């Protein structure tokens, strides 16, 4: 499977999620939109720090900003998370198929072993 645009998007999503503050921000936004000021309070972070995290989440497509010029509230966009789910299900199929083959191979090996013991 050559790298595709989807893979690239997944890398960005995973990178954005690989930070406990950003996951906490998403969990907060899952409960409703919030301004940067509102988000800063529970995380005990300065505004520039929280803005930086939100920018990463925005670039990953996980957060969208409102157009209201003064506050620009942040809202969660769950679409990239659904792509993560697809990543997992794709690998699940591959691994299930591998485990089927492993099962068959182990049976074969043990049959061979038994055959050798008999002869």
Count of beta carbons in the 10 Å neighbourhood of residue 84: 14
- C-alpha distance across the termini of the chain, in Å: 45
What's the burial of 71, exposed, middle or buried (CB within 10 Å: 0-12/13-18/19+)? middle
Q: How far is the CB of 119 from another protein (least distance, A)?
A: 21
Q: Which of 6, 41, 42, 97 binds another protein (CB under 8 A)?
A: 97
Binding to another protein by CB under 8 A, coded x per residue (else -) over 32-71, reads ----------------------------------------
* 72 versus 92: smaller Cβ distance to another protein: 92
What is the spatial distance between Cα 11 and Cα 5, in angstroms, rounded to a whole number?
A: 10
Q: How far is the CB of 60 from another protein (least distance, A)?
A: 9
Q: How far is the CB of 94 from another protein (least distance, A)?
A: 5
Q: Which among 4-12, 35-43, 47-55, 64-72 is the span making contact with another protein, rule CB under 8 A? A: 4-12
Residue 6 interacting with another protein (CB under 8 A): no
Q: Are 95 and 18 in contact (CB under 8 A)?
A: no
Q: Which of 72, 75, 96, 111 binds another protein (CB under 8 A)?
A: 96
Residue 72 Cα distances to 24, 88, 109, 110, angstroms = 19, 33, 64, 65
């Amino acid at each position: 499977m050559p790298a595709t645009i989807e893979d690239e998007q997944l890398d960005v999503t995973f990178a954005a999620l690989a930070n406990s503050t950003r996951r906490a921000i998403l969990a907060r936004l899952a409960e409703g939109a919030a301004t940067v000021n509102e988000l800063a309070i529970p995380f005990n972070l300065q505004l520039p720090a929280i803005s930086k995290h939100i920018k990463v989440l925005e670039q990953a497509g996980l957060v969208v900003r409102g157009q209201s010029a003064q506050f620009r509230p942040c809202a969660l966009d769950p679409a990239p998370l659904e792509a993560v789910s697809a990543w997992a299900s794709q690998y699940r199929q591959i691994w299930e198929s591998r485990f089927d083959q492993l099962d068959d191979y182990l049976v074969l090996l043990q049959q061979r072993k038994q055959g050798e013991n008999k002869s």
